[in-house]
């Protein structure tokens, strides 16, 4: 019998969680002026990019994955689910998780790399920022902002890689809120791509463990992390398209809640994003001493 997933809520007031549940609080200082239109290479297959990506991945495997495990105190639960669904994964798959740490995508990469190197949908501002090249090299695909032709091209490129049997990760909450316990409402992009490309969704969830004395007192670590993996979720094709999208988003959100040790009925937020505002369940003064994420 597998061990029960631990429940721990850091309830930190360190980070300035915004009012809107999908909004960002990280400050990106650089702007390289990139336009995400129909001419932008959302999936860059140039020799120059592939050469750089190879060496970035080499360094990540050699060094960064170990640092990720150490820094996050990472424990992964549910690896057998991935092994059992290896054939399914090879045909192309989407994963979804909460977004709660600067390095949590590296934790996803470390967990799934033996099955497929993932791509991830990212905030366009990050691809214009100081980490632009690194984010692209680890599979970052910018979500176009207010560009219809760019959005059409982006959707085509994302569907193409899924049809090629690639892995796509989506942070359906829309933004990163570090060490936040409740699961925020999901945007429906996760179900849109699943239905359009006929691909299953594998739910992941980060939950927390209380750090030991050394991590707490010496390294000032707020929490350690579990990465919990769930069974694949498929669209209910008996429903019409709109209901199918809503149903799939709801089921994904509920499963991520369960994997994060939260009963969906007790979660603070509804399943589907509708301009939802933050609910203050611990303090009203989030981020009062915030000096930037590290």
Q: What is the pLDDT of residues 180-229, one digit of tens each?
A: 999 999 999 999 999 999 999 999 999 999 999 999 999 999 999 999 99
Location of structure tokens 């850091």: 10
Q: What is the pLDDT of residues 136-147, one digit of tens each?
A: 999 999 999 989
Determine the Cα angle at 99 with ends 123 and 66, to 5°. Answer: 105
What are the φ/ψ torsions at residue 227 (nearest 5 degrees)? -110, 115
Question: What residues pair up with 201 in beta bridges, in sequence order?
Answer: 94, 233
Rounded Cα gap, residues 267 and 66, in angstroms? 33
Give the pLDDT mean for 99-128. 96
Q: In whole angstroms, how far apart are CA 96 and each of 8, 35, 85, 210, 218?
A: 21, 27, 16, 24, 33
Rounded Cα gap, residues 167 and 12, in angstroms? 33
pTM for the complete prediction? Answer: 0.95
Burial class (CB in 10 A: 0-12, 13-18, 19+), 150: buried
Give the pLDDT mean for 87-91. 97
Q: In whole angstroms, how far apart are CA 152 and each of 25, 39, 149?
A: 28, 11, 5
Residue ranges of domains in the chain, CATH in brackets: 47-259 (3.40.1130.10)
Rounded Cα gap, residues 65 and 113, in angstroms? 11
Rounded Cα gap, residues 117 and 162, in angstroms? 12
137-149 burial, b if ≥16 CB within 10 A, otherwise e?
bbbbbbbbeebee
**pLDDT for position 55:** 96
Tokens of 96: 């979804």
Residue 3 has pLDDT above 70, yes or no: no
Q: What is the pLDDT of residues 118-164, one digit of tens each?
A: 999 999 999 999 999 999 999 999 999 989 999 999 999 999 999 99
Q: How confident is the model at residue 1 (pLDDT cuts 50, 70, 90)?
A: very low
Residue 4 has pLDDT above 70, yes or no: no
- Decide which of 6 and 35 is more confident: 35
Tokens of 214: 């050394």
Residue 69 has pLDDT above 70, yes or no: yes
Nearest CA-CA partner of 225 in 178, 269, 258, 267: 178
Mean pLDDT, the chain, whole residue set: 95
**pLDDT for position 6:** 66
Contact 144, 154 (CB under 8 A): yes
Extended beta strands in the chain, E state: 75-77, 93-96, 118-123, 140-143, 167-170, 201-209, 224-229
**pLDDT for position 160:** 97
């Amino acid at each position: 019998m597998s061990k029960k997933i631990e429940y721990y809520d850091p309830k930190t007031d360190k980070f300035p969680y915004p009012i809107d549940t999908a909004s960002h609080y990280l400050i990106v200082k650089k702007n390289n002026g990139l336009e995400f239109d129909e001419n932008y290479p959302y999936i860059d297959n140039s020799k120059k990019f592939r050469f750089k990506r190879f060496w970035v991945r080499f360094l990540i495997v050699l060094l960064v994955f170990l640092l990720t495990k150490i820094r996050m105190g990472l424990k992964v639960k549910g690896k057998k689910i991935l092994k059992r669904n290896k054939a399914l994964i090879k045909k192309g798959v989407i994963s979804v998780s909460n977004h709660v740490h600067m390095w949590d995508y590296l934790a996803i990469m470390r967990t799934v790399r033996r099955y497929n190197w993932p791509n991830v949908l990212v905030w366009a501002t990050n691809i214009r920022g100081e980490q632009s090249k690194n984010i692209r090299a680890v599979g970052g695909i910018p979500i176009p902002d207010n560009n219809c032709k760019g959005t059409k091209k982006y959707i085509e490129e994302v569907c193409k890689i899924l049809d090629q049997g690639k892995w796509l990760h989506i942070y359906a909450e829309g933004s990163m809120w570090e060490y936040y316990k409740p699961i925020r409402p999901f945007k429906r992009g996760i179900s849109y791509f699943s239905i359009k490309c006929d691909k299953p969704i594998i739910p992941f969830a980060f939950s927390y463990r209380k750090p030991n004395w050394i991590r707490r007192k010496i390294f000032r670590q707020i929490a350690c992390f579990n990465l919990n993996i769930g069974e694949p979720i498929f669209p209910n094709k008996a429903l019409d398209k709109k209901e199918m999208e809503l149903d799939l988003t709801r089921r994904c959100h509920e499963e991520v809640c369960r994997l994060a040790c939260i009963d969906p009925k007790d979660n603070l937020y509804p399943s589907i994003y509708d301009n939802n505002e933050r609910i203050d369940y611990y303090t009203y003064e989030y981020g009062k001493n915030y000096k930037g994420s590290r």
